[in-house]
Structure 1
Amino acid sequence: MKIEIDFNDSEKSGIKKAFLFDVAKKTLAHQNFQYLKNKNISLSFATVPEGEIVKMNAIYRRKKTATDVLSFCEYKNQKEIEEAVDKNIYLGEIIVCYTYIVKYAKAEKKNAKQELAEIISHGVLHLLGLRHSQKMFKIQKEVSNNF
């Protein structure tokens, strides 16, 4: 599987594109996603300040609060991705608020890098059509434990 990542760090977070790539690769390479093995995958990442994520969360989720991640999927569900004939697949865009993630990690006495990895993996899993479930949380935890 080939992975291409576009990254817009408007929050000036200092997140390295290589880190995003590693988290995405580990998530996409998970055994449950073998149908991606022969595909060329592309996805976009962006960071935004807390004020911007509040606005976006209000628009797209009708919640007037900050959040750590928003995922904008190109496909309706996992089955649609599996049935995609094209070898090149754009999964969608993941938008994170790095300052929110760091504040949360500090408040919960968690490692910020691991928390960021878990949030990015979470976003990638949403792009793959997964909904919140034990399976999803298990995968993102397994991925983040590598960081």
Structure 2
Amino acid sequence: MQRAVRGAPSAARLRGWARAAARPDQQITLRVVGAAEARTLNRAFRRRDHPTNVLSFGYSPTQGDIVLCHPVIAREARAQGKALAAHYAHLVVHGMLHLRGLRHGRRMERAEIAILARLGVADPYTVE
């Protein structure tokens, strides 16, 4: 677990959310970064010239990295009226599911909702 910015959840919380969505044999590095690093990575690997909330890099079925951009996540949480921790939990789970091979769509959303419910986090797709 690496944190390059202040204000992010603790390493223990991030690990707990990741473990909730991980396969037993997965070895994952979580890194929380600022907007400049997220933009650089997004541009290099996705050819999109802006920071993004989460990036997942799978190297094998059991190894990968997840990069979380704190400024983007904080801005999204405020805009969506969500607790910062809940939004982080969602994005950590989201990134873990990508590393497990899931793609965006209803199946992934159902998995996210189920895992987050076990963590005590509300359905991120429900608008209040």
TM class by smaller structure: 0.7 to 0.9
Q: By how many angstroms is 1:100 displaced?
A: 0.9
Matched residues, number = 119
Displaced runs of 4 or more, over 4 A: none
1:74 partner SS: strand
Pick the structure with greater CA Rg. 1
Quote the sequence identity (%).
26
Q: Unpaired runs of 5+ in structure 2?
A: 122-128
Give 3-state SS (helix, strand or coil) of 2:26's partner.
strand
Q: 2:18 aligns with which of 16, 20, 24?
A: 24
1:106 aligns with 2:78: yes
For residues 116 and 73 of structure 2, the distance between their equivalents in structure 1, rounded to whole angstroms, comes to: 14
Give the aligned partner of residue 30 of structure 2.
Answer: 45
Distance (Å, rounded) in 2 between the aligned partners of 1:111 and 1:42: 28
How far, CA to CA, are the matches of 1:65 and 1:55 in structure 2? 8
- Tell whether 2:9 aligns with 1:15: yes
Consecutive unaligned residues of structure 1, counting only runs of 5 or more, are 1-6, 29-35, 76-80, 82-88
CA distance in 2, matches of 1:107, 1:40: 36
What TM-score does the superposition give when structure 1 sets the normalisation length? Answer: 0.74
User: Matches of residues 103-142 of structure 1 in structure 2 within 5 Å?
Assistant: 103-142=75-114
- 1:32 — aligned with what? none
CA RMSD of aligned residues (A): 1.6
Aligned partner of residue 53 in structure 1, secondary structure: helix
Q: TM-score, normalised by structure 2?
A: 0.84
